Structure 1
Amino acid sequence: MFQKRQEEGKTKPGDTYAPLRRKPGLRPLPGEELGLSARLTFWDVLHYLARGLALSQRGASHGLAEHWGSLKYCQALSADAETHLKVPKEGKRIAMYYRVPQSVELGQAFALAISEEILTHRYTGISIVRADTALSAGWTLTSRDKAKTKTVGYQYRPQFFAEVWKPGDSSRVFPIACKGNHSDRRKVYEQLASSAVYADGVHIGAWDETPALLFSTEISLSDPLTVHVLQADGPGGWLHIPDDAPAADIGLPVGDENPAVGIFEPGCPVGPRYYEWFQRALARVGAAGLTAFAGDGESTAALLTARQGSDFFQGFAHAAAGSIHDARYTLLGEEFEGTDHVFRLNGERVQAFSGVAKDILDALLTRESEERSADIAAYRQRVHAWRTKPNGTFWDDKWDGVVSISRDGTVLAMRQIAPFQNE
């Protein structure tokens, strides 16, 4: 790698080569976890991608609807009943022009879906949160951040965290590093090796004991889609909290803590002093992901700190990208609130609705005029109770469309709607 950078003129006189640190102890996922295949619908994949994009803050405007970016993949994959997901003719055409974003974003979607399937076999409560948003609560990740603190100085971090938890208990964190490609098996090996560097950027507790999940999704243009998984099954990752800590403490503000940025090795280490604080940070980012998915910018901003980009979710929303929390539907007998979007697919008008179960969202709504603030403890209790309900993809006759319901109480529903009538 150093030789390649020299050839490309990207090094300076005096630069030396230092091998990148990689996650140790990696091994294939045991076959008894999921077997050789996992059952997912295409709509579930879109749902996971939308949830993963909700806090991405990548749009040029101040729109909240980052997650609507998932809809561009409505025709990227296809499968008949009881078959594997493949790239159809339309998906190949998309790949010609959007190969890199398609491989990156679909790689993330499948990584999140498979991560939740894996961890659900081991634990009861799981939340997926964007790693950079959570880490920004305490660390200045890049020189572009406005915080006047020392930057981490290390660009390699996992893209997501999976937090497994029960209300009032210690939780455990699994960093998730994920990539995707349209190439071949050789590229898969390169991506898994690269992901091992990203996964090692965060350590919780003792060094080299944090578990992790690494993914490379092979999006072949001719063969079925394949997700390659490695795991580091370390004993760490636990955010130990005192047994007598009140459950309501999970809702305490995260403040402006500044943990060390890596004394001996670069990265973001979470030591015992910061276990409770980091658990609160994860809980708030998980909650913010739900309110963003429902289109509520005010509540999302209230859950994030300035360093986490709370201002992004306030103020003007561009008409082409904004979301407003103003849609309410009963789907499969459950009440959901959120936001909707109407677009055209092959000339047909399609409505997409993203929302959160009303009882869960009620705990998170923030209204300055009513002096309301989010109740994180109540939110965690309600999400934990929700996990006993059915999840997956269903057809709702009353909605007249497909409905994907997740274990965290979010929903992505789509249906064809009638064209405008000329009066």
Structure 2
Amino acid sequence: MTPWNLLGVFARATTLARHGRGRGLAEHWQGLKYCQALAAGPGGYLSLTAEGESPELSYRAMQARELGRAFGLAVAERVVRSCFPACLVSTLDAEAVLLASFARSGPRPTLGARPRPDFFIEAWRPGEPSRIFVVTVNGNHQIATKRTSKADRSTSKQLARASERAEQFHLGQWNTTPCLLMSTELLAMEGITINALRAPGEGLLPTRTAEGSGSADHVLTERNLLYAGALRLPAIDGRRERSQDGFLIPRKEIGWFGQLLARTGAAGQLAFAGAGTEIAQYLTVKQGHKHYVQQTFAGSSSVRDARHRIGYTWYVGTDQVFRLNRTRVEAFSGMAEELYELLVKGGVEAYRQRAYDLRNTLPTGASAPQWGPEAFPSSV
């Protein structure tokens, strides 16, 4: 994996993240600050540079929170793709999805302090049932000196907390949704190490129709699903049957949830390409529909304003110019113009079909003529 590929994974997954008022486009460009923190280390593996090992505590904490999460998410995507090689993979911010059905009442839609997973990964293929994985990602930046190091203890605690968060979401019924829990040690003795736990399950979403009310092209109405006492835990280990708070998608709403994932993913793709008001059509009120209708914040209301040809394909999106050791660098993020136009017109199902048809035509190299480093994802 190259540094720009890693940063691209994290950028695509956070375009709809609600990390403050600057959600959207401003979020995914933040990854550029790590361009000098990563490089090929011993044996050619990706490792931290001297700058990446900077002793400033604030920088380390931020790096563990963001870069550690990026590594974990990249590995999670590869795990899902390896299990389902015939499928495409979509990664979605869990909060952005859950807001549509579990937002608390108040002037500003929020999930509050309820424990929840970080991301959902959907493995899908047009015309077939797709699968959903619950994902948590964490990172720590402790200096490891031996296997009983402080870093190991931090990792164990992170995985334990991740289990608590992941177990708050259930699709259809209790304890049948697959989970991937990731914790990254950025200064492990063996280099950057990703620790992973997996919980099995099917996580199946029903096949959608290509058109009509059952398709992802259909505008969704929000749901007010039960959170308090939503989960019924069976009598196990000598304990009585009991109820527990959690994000449960009832069986009758699983089809709706599949549509929600597809539409939220479409909004994320448009946000990555710098779209503006076009994003709003795919989001419910609680997900932030109003935010994208009213272009009021400079970082997230930028519009798609760049068009470049890479290989034989025209890509549209947005660019950013910055300085890297006094060198002027232009970065571009976008998507194939053909796919962009389908999403702008509301054609989620047509977009998915065409994206699947084009999956083997994307460039696979690490650089592009006249551009330099490039990263074309296998996820969509």
Go from structure 1 to structure 2 and tell me whether the alpha carbon gap of 1:314 and 1:73 turns closer, same or farther (over 3 Å shift).
farther
User: For 1:53-109, what per-residue CA distance to the aligned partner results, in whole angstroms no more than 9, with x for missing partners?
Assistant: 211132444773321011111111111585222221111227543222211111221
| Distance in structure 2 (CA, Å) of the matches to 1:317 and 1:343 | 24
> Within 5 Å, which residues of 2 pair with 1:38-117?
40-61=1-22, 64-80=25-41, 82-93=43-54, 96-117=57-78
**SS of alignment partner, residue 97 of structure 1:** helix
**SS of alignment partner, residue 275 of structure 1:** helix
Go from structure 1 to structure 2 and tell me whether the alpha carbon gap of 1:317 and 1:44 turns closer, same or farther (over 3 Å shift).
farther
Alignment of 1:224 with 2:224, yes or no, is no
Letter in 2 for 1:362: E
Contact 2:115 2:164 in 1 (8 A): yes
| Distance in structure 2 (CA, Å) of the matches to 1:47 and 1:272 | 34
User: For 1:6-31, what per-residue CA distance to the aligned partner results, in whole angstroms no more than 9, with x for missing partners?
Assistant: xxxxxxxxxxxxxxxxxxxxxxxxxx
Deviation at 1:225, TM superposition (A): 0.6
Partner residue, 1:309:
288
Deviation at 1:189, TM superposition (A): 0.8
Deviation at 1:146, TM superposition (A): 3.7
| Distance in structure 1 (CA, Å) of the matches to 2:56 and 2:13 | 21
| Distance in structure 2 (CA, Å) of the matches to 1:117 and 1:62 | 26
Find runs of 4+ consecutive structure 1 residues off by over 6 angstroms.
Answer: 151-154
**SS of alignment partner, residue 102 of structure 1:** helix
Contact 1:87 1:221 in 2 (8 A): no
Instruction: Name stretches of at least 5 consecutive residues in structure 1 with no aligned partner.
Output: 1-39, 366-372, 410-423
**SS of alignment partner, residue 214 of structure 1:** strand
Partner residue, 1:421:
none
Which of 179, 182, 185 matches 2:152? Answer: 185
User: For 1:162-210, what per-residue CA distance to the aligned partner results, in whole angstroms no more than 9, with x for missing partners?
Assistant: 0111213222110001110102111111111110011111101221111
> Within 5 Å, which residues of 2 pair with 1:132-281?
132-140=95-103, 142=104, 146=108, 155-183=114-142, 184-220=151-187, 224-234=191-201, 236-241=202-207, 246-248=209-211, 249-261=215-227, 262-263=229-230, 264-281=243-260
**SS of alignment partner, residue 268 of structure 2:** helix
Deviation at 1:333, TM superposition (A): 2.6
Partner residue, 1:6:
none
When the two structures are aligned, how many residues end up with a matched partner?
Answer: 354
Which of 407, 413, 417 matches 2:378? Answer: 407
Letter in 1 for 2:90: S
User: For 1:320-341, what per-residue CA distance to the aligned partner results, in whole angstroms no more than 9, with x for missing partners?
Assistant: 6653201011113322100001
Partner residue, 2:92:
129
Deviation at 1:392, TM superposition (A): 4.9
Go from structure 1 to structure 2 and tell me whether the alpha carbon gap of 1:73 and 1:222 turns closer, same or farther (over 3 Å shift).
farther
Deviates more, 1:97-106 or 1:276-285: 97-106
Letter in 2 for 1:99: R
Which of 348, 358, 365 matches 2:337? Answer: 358
User: For 1:273-302, what per-residue CA distance to the aligned partner results, in whole angstroms no more than 9, with x for missing partners?
Assistant: 001100010001111111000000211122
Partner residue, 1:387:
359
| Distance in structure 1 (CA, Å) of the matches to 2:298 and 2:55 | 25
| TM-score, with length taken from structure 1 | 0.78
**SS of alignment partner, residue 136 of structure 2:** strand
Go from structure 1 to structure 2 and tell me whether the alpha carbon gap of 1:94 and 1:301 turns closer, same or farther (over 3 Å shift).
farther
Partner residue, 2:81:
120
Go from structure 1 to structure 2 and tell me whether the alpha carbon gap of 1:315 and 1:240 turns closer, same or farther (over 3 Å shift).
closer
Go from structure 1 to structure 2 and tell me whether the alpha carbon gap of 1:349 and 1:94 turns closer, same or farther (over 3 Å shift).
farther
Deviation at 1:160, TM superposition (A): 0.3
Question: Identity percentage over the alignment?
Answer: 36
Deviation at 1:317, TM superposition (A): 5.2
Partner residue, 2:235:
none
Contact 1:386 1:408 in 2 (8 A): no
Go from structure 1 to structure 2 and tell me whether the alpha carbon gap of 1:386 and 1:96 turns closer, same or farther (over 3 Å shift).
farther
Instruction: Name stretches of at least 5 consecutive residues in structure 2 with no aligned partner.
Output: 143-150, 231-242
Go from structure 1 to structure 2 and tell me whether the alpha carbon gap of 1:96 and 1:345 turns closer, same or farther (over 3 Å shift).
farther
| Distance in structure 2 (CA, Å) of the matches to 1:383 and 1:325 | 20
**SS of alignment partner, residue 389 of structure 1:** coil
Go from structure 1 to structure 2 and tell me whether the alpha carbon gap of 1:48 and 1:87 turns closer, same or farther (over 3 Å shift).
same
